[in-house]
Each structure stands twice: as structure tokens, then as C-alpha cells.
């Protein structure tokens, strides 16, 4: 998912990249401390929409 989000021009990291012992950790690390508020307003909804669509797709596969 992190790679597909990267194709949108956003940078996120998979949570698993920060876990030494666990390989089952799932999630995204979103760093926005350096981002200007205008960029957060612009890209926040893009990221939220992408994640919502991914979750909807995963739920439909069950």
C-alpha cells in the first residue's frame, strides 16, 4: 500500500519497516511534522480517500 500511495506523490512508510521482532505489524507511518498546513489540507483527503478505498476493497474480498 505504501508504494501505491507513493505513486500519488505522497510518502508514507510501512509500520513493519520499524519493527525488528514482529513481522505481522500492519499499518502506515505518516510523518507530517515538516509539512506546511496547506499541504496537509491538500493531501490529507487524498490519503484518506485512498486508504478508505483500499479498506473497502479488502472487506469485499472476505
Asked whether the predicted pLDDT for residue 53 surpasses 90, the reply is yes
Arithmetic mean of pLDDT, 9-32: 87
User: What is the rounded (10 degree) CA torsion for 16, 18, 50, 58?
Assistant: 20
pLDDT of residue 21: 84
Q: Please give the model's pTM, rounded to 2 decimal places.
A: 0.77
Determine the Cα–Cα distance for residues 44 and 30; give it in Å rounded to an integer. 10
- pLDDT for residue 42 is more than 90: yes
CB 30 within 8 A of CB 47: yes
Amino acid at each position: 500500500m505504501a508504494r501505491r500511495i507513493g505513486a500519488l506523490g505522497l510518502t508514507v512508510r510501512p509500520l513493519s519497516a520499524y519493527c525488528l521482532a514482529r513481522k505481522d505489524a500492519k499499518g502506515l507511518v505518516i510523518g507530517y511534522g515538516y509539512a506546511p498546513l496547506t499541504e496537509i489540507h491538500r493531501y490529507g483527503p487524498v490519503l484518506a480517500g485512498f486508504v478508505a478505498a483500499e479498506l473497502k476493497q479488502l472487506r469485499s474480498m472476505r
